[in-house]
Amino acid sequence: MTDEKHVDESWKQQAQAEKEKLDAAAKPPEPPASPEGGEDSPPGPADFPALVASLASGALLALGILPDAEGKTPAPDFDRARYAIDLLDMLAVKTKGNLAPEEDRHLTGALHELHMAFVEATRRSPKS
């Protein structure tokens, strides 16, 4: 008589398959491919500096300082630029005393640069 014991090892395979399934579900989704077929770099973290940078770049685009997605420099749209700057001003007022020092410096610096860029862009603009 042999003393072989039959051990059911299929539970290990099931556990491994479930682990792989959970690992795959926990991975962040791949960023979508750009319309041209190339891949864009993944966006940075959704944090306060990213919000400030997004609003600031919208203002710079509206001022005609940044090129658009096609690489062209658009004509200034001072109303749109003023709106983006006003949003950042409002954000500064509403978050006063609640920001980390580096966030406060980032916001204050961005606002200073945008105010100066707005003044310079309006000076350069032909008067109508």
Least Cα distance to 51 among 118, 106, 117 occurs for: 106
For CA atoms 24, 26, 28, 29, give the dihedral sign. positive
Tens-digit pLDDT string for the chain (128 aa): 555 565 566 666 766 666 666 655 555 445 444 445 445 677 788 999 999 999 999 999 999 988 888 888 888 999 999 999 999 999 999 999 999 999 999 999 999 999 999 999 999 887 64
Please, which residues have CB within 8 angstroms of residue 41's CB and are 6 or more apart in sequence?
31
pTM above 0.85, yes or no: no
Domain boundaries, the chain: 48-124
Sequence length of the chain is: 128
